[in-house]
Amino acid sequence: MINMKLLVCTDGSEHSQKALEKAAILATAAFVEDVALIHVYDGKMDFSSASWGGRDYAITEEDIKRLKMMHEEEKEKRKIILQEAQKVFEEKNVQVRAILKEGHPSHTIVEVAEEEGFDIIVIGSRGLGGLKKILLGSVSNAVAQEAKNSSVLIVK
């Protein structure tokens, strides 16, 4: 009997939901010892003065406080995405843990998969990106290209 480790990517999109559902079925049908959900978000914010009030605008302490508050609000939204994703697995009585990371999505997903020794990465074919690729989303394509020690299941 071979036990597998499954890393499931989620961003709250329709394709991500399909990936969650496939992964939950896989987790119940196969010998999966560890299932983890990962959500990676790019937490970069534009601190240039031009984005705030023009070329000669000096960012104030109040602006910094507002930015920190916006960053925390964004992080809370991301936690909710993970909580909703966990419900898909709970409905099938599959234990799952959540991983919330800030960084470049594809690089971070691959990094976590390698560090923790995941056998399979499950990801939707497209996410919430602004421009949709014709065949695959940029994150799923990059994960498929960059993953060295994990198989990648791309769900359409």
DSSP 8-state class, residue 117:
T
Q: What band does 137 get if pLDDT is binned at 50, 70 and 90?
A: low
Hey, where are the domains in the chain?
4-43+74-155
Instruction: Indicate the length of the chain as a whole number.
Output: 156
What would the pLDDT profile of 36-54 be if each residue is shown by its tens digit?
999 998 877 655 544 556 6
What would the pLDDT profile of 57-108 be if each residue is shown by its tens digit?
677 888 888 888 888 998 999 999 999 999 999 999 999 999 999 999 999 9
pTM of this structure: 0.85
Tokens 């599959």 — which residue?
A: 94
Tokens describing residue 25:
């079925």
Beta strands, E only, 28-135: 32-41, 97-102, 120-124
Q: What band does 138 get if pLDDT is binned at 50, 70 and 90?
A: confident
Determine the pLDDT at residue 46. 57
What would the pLDDT profile of 52-65 be if each residue is shown by its tens digit?
566 666 778 888 88
Return the CATH superfamily for domain 4-43+74-155: HUPs (3.40.50.620)
